[in-house]
Amino acid sequence: MMELSEDQLDMLCRLLPDEPARPKGGRPRTDKRKAIAGIFWILDNGAKWEDLPSEFGTKSSVHRAFQRWVNLGAFEQLLAEVGAMVEERGGFKLYECFIDGTFSKAKGGGDGIGGTKAGKGVKIMIMVDARGLPVAVNTGSASPHESKLVEPLFDFMVTVDFPERLVGDKAYDSDKLDETLAGLGVDMISPHRSNRKPGNRTQDGRKLRRYKRRWTVERTIGWLQNYRRLCIRWEKSTAMFQGFVNLTCSILLMKQVLG
């Protein structure tokens, strides 16, 4: 079982918004530090909220804190702020980025789910830099082809600049995608699919040498899958699941900031 370090907890407490004061009284405010630790426990173990140990507070108060932060867009803002810290320290290597998606089966139903041969679920799309640090992440229906999920990912960049080169597998072999990314100043590199005609090849051997380092994004996806709550989507809400994804990527980037 993984645990947050005291430094990570301190940073999360500082960056996530406090619960608003209640001038007319009411139930006591949730212990912020315990709530964050409890949310992380759910993320790490993939357990149901009802199984949350009492040491983190009541399950209702921790779940309520998570919902409030999701509704405020706090985890998206958290990822952006930690990403900015990494960028300020020159941590991102954008000369070469990698992209891939991973499937999460949806057990609880809800919005934003798509059908595939593997069943109904969602796709986590992630872009990482040359060292495997997340620079953009998004979730959505698993039905669309991955090549159609690349352009929307650029709306979730935590960096100011776009990558110089983006490397993906055969799923991203698309002339339309190449043209779209070229308009953004990004060179899309991916092996050709077997059904491409010899006279219509656009990639050369020099560019494709970079494909050998595609393990970089596969390793990062492995890091994501260490957090069991991301392997199966139990949330009925896409926003709630995205909250867990953004929190996970923020924690990965915190390791770069904190050393």
- Give the whole-angstrom CA distance, residue 97 versus residue 198: 27
What is the reported pLDDT for 212? Answer: 87
Are the C-beta atoms of 191 and 173 separated by less than 8 Å? yes
Alpha helices (H) in the chain, listed in sequence order:
6-15, 32-45, 59-71, 74-88, 150-153, 175-182, 205-208, 215-225, 238-258
Q: What is the pLDDT of residues 70-127, one digit of tens each?
A: 999 999 999 999 999 999 988 899 999 999 999 999 988 889 899 888 889 999 999 9
Distances (CA, A) of 255 to 18, 106, 172, 252: 23, 29, 30, 6
The DSSP output letter for 189 is E
Q: Interior CA angle at 26 toward 21 and 28, to 5°? A: 65
* Global pTM value: 0.91
39 pLDDT higher than 60? yes
Q: What is the number of other CB atoms lying within 10 angstroms of the CB of residue 210?
A: 16
Q: Is the pLDDT of residue 199 over 60?
A: no
pLDDT per residue as tens digits for the range 43-85: 999 999 999 999 999 999 999 999 999 999 999 999 999 999 9
Q: Which of 90, 132, 91, 139 is nearest to 112 (CA)?
A: 139
